[in-house]
Amino acid sequence: MPTLNINFDPAVIAHLLKASGDDTVHVTLSLSTGAQASSSSPVTPHGPLAELMQADLIKAGTVLTFHQRRAKRSGRAVVTADGQLIVDGHASPFPSPSKAAEAVTGNVINGWTLWHVEGVGRTLDDLRRELESRTSQ
């Protein structure tokens, strides 16, 4: 019988400890052998969030949230290593902040101004403007 080793980054364990019963946790498994398992190639972010990730303004595992009081709805998403968003309650990742926001709200909406970095309070649009100001100097 083959041996199955599953290694979790400490950040994953910390996230699981903070997760509530309503949270969805996505785990990806891949098949590899020996040396391949320890020398996996890094994932390069692509899509709309790639520049923010390359500038270290957000990282894989960053939690994004929003709360709309009047509509009485909120959302939570996690940034993947390739720059997509995994939204709680949805099986497939979304390629952009706006598509992820639309999945939660049911409306066409600007995800850049809706999603906030959890614990920081800044929107993705704030981070995008910060990056623009860095590159224009």
Tens of pLDDT along the chain (137 residues)? 666 666 666 566 666 666 777 766 666 666 655 554 444 567 788 899 999 999 999 999 999 999 999 989 999 999 999 999 999 888 889 999 999 999 999 999 999 999 999 988 899 999 999 999 988 87
Picking from 15, 17, 7, 14, the residue whose alpha carbon sits closest to that of residue 86 is 15
Q: What is the pTM of this model?
A: 0.70
Q: What is the pLDDT of residue 10?
A: 59
Q: What is the pLDDT of residue 45?
A: 87
Is 49 in a helix, a strand, or coil?
A: coil
Specify whether the CB–CB gap between 118 and 102 falls below 8 A: no
Q: Which two tokens stand for residue 27?
A: 């785990």
Picking from 97, 88, 76, the residue whose alpha carbon sits closest to that of residue 26 is 88
Place of tokens 């080793």: 5
Cα dist. 98→3, 14, 18, 104, 105 in Å? 42, 28, 26, 10, 10
Q: What is the pLDDT of residue 7?
A: 65
Specify whether the CB–CB gap between 118 and 64 falls below 8 A: yes
